[in-house]
Amino acid sequence: MSEKGMFGVSGSGDTSGFGGLVNSTVITGSTQRPFGAYFDQVADDLERAYPLFSDAIEKVIVDRGELTLFVKRDRLFEVAKILRDELRFEMCVGVNGVHYPNESGRELHAIYSLLSITRNQRIRLEVSVSDQDPHIPSLVEVWAGTNWHERETYDMFGIIFDNHPGLTRIMMPDDWPGHPQRKDYPLGGIDIEYKGATVPAPSERRSYR
């Protein structure tokens, strides 16, 4: 599957710098062992500490030197506590949102970057939910530092972190419509006159398809 033209442009006249780009989408299955580096140790330790490992982890991906555990939503809180208490991943460095509008039923993803100071190791957790049911358990109780990160992910992507102590917008005004980093969010803008010509607003000249 591919999408030609970053902004739906065909032919000439694309001044965005993305002319002729073909963006290939690859659906990646679980990485096969051995994972390499310390990743096998992390997976083994988690499996020993958490008997429901095979049920909780959808797949394990090793790519570009990073280990990502894809966790089922209803098991996220349990996995996070095991990683903190048993495997000594003391810090959640950040929470990031991603919007994949073509992934039916899994449009919204939340990615947690974890750091073990004790073990000097880094891993990631990833959870996917439907944009019709964008609820994910909050991990503020596990890592207090996720408080503002979850608020920003909610603000920008509309992911609702259940049991968050104060899930309000952190960047946009409280009454702002929509979530600006979703790919279905309108770009807006105004027409600009330039040397007698008019450049259309971004919302009129670009298309994410």
Which regions of the chain are under pLDDT 50? Answer: 1-5, 208-209
Output DSSP code: residue 109.
E
pLDDT tens digits for 119-130?
999 999 999 999
Token pair for residue 124? 């990631």
The predicted-structure confidence for 9-55, as pLDDT tens digits, reads as follows 555 555 555 555 555 555 568 999 999 999 999 999 999 999 999 99
- Tell me what pLDDT residue 1 has: 41
**Encoded tokens for 85:** 């208490």
- Provide CATH 3.30.460.80 ranges for the chain: 31-205
The pairs formed by 158-161 with CB atoms below 8 angstroms and a separation of 24 or more are 158/108, 158/131, 158/134, 158/182, 159/97, 159/108, 159/110, 159/129, 159/134, 160/134, 160/135, 160/136, 161/135, 161/136, 161/137
* Residue 202 pLDDT: 67
Nearest alpha-carbon partner for 127 in 87, 166, 98: 98
The whole-angstrom separation of Cα 89 and Cα 74 is 20
CA 182 to chain centre: 11
Return the closest-CA partner of residue 30 out of 43, 20, 19: 43
Considering the four listed CATH numbers 1.10.760.10, 3.90.1150.10, 3.20.20.70, 3.30.460.80, the one that applies to the domain covering 31-205 is 3.30.460.80
- Which whole-number Å values give the CA distances from 14 to 6, 32, 187, 206, in the listed order? 10, 41, 17, 10
CA-based nearest residue to 35, from 26, 46, 27? 46
In the numeric block, which tokens belong to residue 203?
A: 């919302």
pLDDT the model gives residue 196: 72
Question: What local confidence, expressed as pLDDT, does residue 41 receive?
Answer: 96
Helices (H) and strands (E) in the chain, counts: 5, 11
